[in-house]
Structure 1
């Protein structure tokens, strides 16, 4: 599936264009900002809802590129970084100072201190359309969400059967006439008086769950150390509390395991060879090299291990959103975009990435989805509470500093120098 930028859109008007039939459900909206075109487009799935010109960060204060969501909304806001500058109809994207907001100065070139400036009328209209949690994607070139299908993309679980099974019904004796002998015979029949009253309605409601925020990324050192500590403790090597920190007790346990299994220390202390040996000794199979993290309502919900095939290949950065989630039919519609990846040489070395060929291909999103395996129990948990507006991010780089308390997952692919 081609998720690369599409250029012949004809959307980049200098005044806002609004589709009068725009969706009333803000959960399905995505806002896409292009710093190269100085444009903004609001999408509901693959449909354009509204567009506008914008002004992003000037040189030295460039607007960060990546995947954000609206964290806070204020009709009247003053910058705490730039002399209490007025920022009406502010919609915050990071706690460090990046936001969408109204401005009296929206030239056709970058001019802000990092924020995305909006024309007055459009800023007010957009403020009315959105709610906290609406995703904002900032990229160089414009991006257009495309319909996606993949076995990895979650589908809602059907609701459980509420009527009792025949095997659960009470049996009572009754009398029947057998035609052959014309004699009464006692047989067992379902006692319908024992049935519970039928439910008034099926418990299926819109907005049953806040949308999920799902991130799949490569495992970091702390997650590996946490698992090692737990497994080493199980194997009798006292590694201390599984906190993910390489303290003295953990390093001693790793050294003791290496000595017991004739593994001389070479290179990194927590190496792939050590992980494989400890997992094998504990009978746990292949060690995970990825993590799936789930948030809901701006708070962590749960984490689970995952596997990335061909880990030496970059995954890229991809964003997917779920629409029309229907737990009765067990179907959801997914739309996705692929952002330009910007991995530095040190980052690639740290992550063990040797090639970016797949992440730069025309079908990069499909390739990334096909390489990821997650546990069945994690999938079942997600699909049981999946709702319209849920999202999935796939990224090589993990959780950045902007992701924290009171945020969704924030994925930065290029940083800004400041905000305002």
Structure 2
């Protein structure tokens, strides 16, 4: 409570910039922006730390909605898109040009897509955040809520760090052939951590996790690995159907007397999985990043794949390995899918998205994968569950960026419109301080 009060007081003062004092908060705090309310709220768990007015993108330059994190911070930055417009205390959310920064904040959307903050607030917030800090942008206001569920990851208790063998007198199980002393080889636990059983993570940087539906890339990677195991040279499992992969698929089809033609038919996939001693292809994929770089990924099961998962964002705090406990909070964001998207993902056209709890119920996460994540879980770790894939903003040097929309972009049902009448343009407003042009 004391640290939360201190942080709130710091945000109210533009001169209080003691970043080290609040560094521990940056992992677990998150920013939530409401475009409808033109407001920003900083949360510590489910508790409000601070609020402020903001100005988001105007018509034609809308601020994207979704789940972001701070990728880069610069105390002073100039826009490379809009005539070198000043962007003090810039905190970048996408490499395509969306950021938090100081600027003019009227009571309406006025930016070119960025989120403008009042000057004093922008300066203080800049001093209290760090790269990786979560930022959620939504149309209607949303707020994190506590959640407890068996499928949410929990940390594992550290095993004793002492050597596996004690210093008691050793008793050989074979009869000694000599009375002379002899040596017994023992592993040095200081150089071989696997012998201590310790599972303490070497890096306490938060994990960023994403669960999504599997796409062609993951299926092709599986196919390549299974073909290689069966003796067909499909090349490295990179998810790309190149010349080697095509030749290996053709060879397998000849072996199984399957018709040639389209590469990844249902008959081919079923035969390949059976020949490899595996079940049908899993429906979902778990991807893990840390320090803005991929760490690992693995397939997981998904029950009732014809039902939308929805878009849910979970964050972990108070991670305690001693008691194997952690507190989780969740935000659910509206994210409508178009008819074409539902058809592409084999989702029922009329099924409603799952709640956060129901989405977790539908996941089948292997025990070895769960244990691996449990050994790495740290304060500020996050999990996004969504139907769609990585999206265009997720790339090198980012966390998982999930773009959402509360209104589906459906062009096929748009009625014909008359030619618009010419409307007199309002004179462009110019700000003397030159701030907030982005």
- Give the TM-score, by structure 2 length: 0.78
Written as runs of structure 1 = structure 2, the 5 A alignment for 1:104-123 is 105-123=104-122
Written as runs of structure 1 = structure 2, the 5 A alignment for 1:232-311 is 232-264=227-259, 269-311=263-305
Which of structures 1 and 2 has the larger relative contact order (alpha carbons within 8 angstroms, sep 6+)? 1
- Structure 2 equivalent of residue 147 of structure 1: 146
Written as runs of structure 1 = structure 2, the 5 A alignment for 1:165-204 is 168-171=166-169
Q: 1:340 Cα shift?
A: 0.4
- Over 3 Å counting, the alpha-carbon distance change for 1:276 and 1:204 in structure 2 is closer
1:37-83 Cα offsets, whole Å, 9 max, x none, are 11111101000011111111111111111100001111111100000
- Over 3 Å counting, the alpha-carbon distance change for 1:160 and 1:392 in structure 2 is same
1:106-129 Cα offsets, whole Å, 9 max, x none, are 111111110011111111121122
Q: Is the 8 A contact 1:35 1:138 kept in 2?
A: yes
Q: Is the 8 A contact 2:146 2:327 kept in 1?
A: yes
1:311-358 Cα offsets, whole Å, 9 max, x none, are 111111110000100011100000001110122222222211114634
Query: Greater share of strand residues, 1 or 2?
Result: 1
Count the aligned residue pairs: 368
- Over 3 Å counting, the alpha-carbon distance change for 1:118 and 1:356 in structure 2 is farther
Written as runs of structure 1 = structure 2, the 5 A alignment for 1:252-401 is 252-264=247-259, 269-355=263-349, 357-359=351-353, 364-401=355-392
- Structure 2 equivalent of residue 129 of structure 1: 128
Q: Is the 8 A contact 2:23 2:129 kept in 1?
A: no
Q: Is the 8 A contact 1:90 1:99 kept in 2?
A: yes
Q: Is the 8 A contact 1:17 1:52 kept in 2?
A: no
Separation in 1, partners of 2:244, 2:201: 50
Q: Does 1:69 align with 2:33?
A: no
- Structure 1 equivalent of residue 48 of structure 2: 48
Separation in 2, partners of 1:356, 1:109: 35
Separation in 2, partners of 1:207, 1:90: 31
What SS class does the counterpart of residue 307 from structure 1 fall into?
A: strand
Q: Is the 8 A contact 1:294 1:301 kept in 2?
A: yes
Q: Is the 8 A contact 2:101 2:116 kept in 1?
A: yes
Separation in 2, partners of 1:60, 1:130: 30
Q: 1:249 Cα shift?
A: 3.1
Separation in 2, partners of 1:272, 1:315: 24
- Give the TM-score, by structure 1 length: 0.81
Separation in 2, partners of 1:233, 1:125: 56
Q: 1:375 Cα shift?
A: 2.1
1:185-229 Cα offsets, whole Å, 9 max, x none, are xxxxxxxxxxx99xxxxx999995101101111112111111101
- Over 3 Å counting, the alpha-carbon distance change for 1:271 and 1:352 in structure 2 is farther
- Over 3 Å counting, the alpha-carbon distance change for 1:114 and 1:60 in structure 2 is same
Task: Give the aligned CA root-mean-square deviation in angstroms.
Answer: 2.8
**Unaligned stretches of 5+ in structure 1?**
1-15, 174-195, 198-202
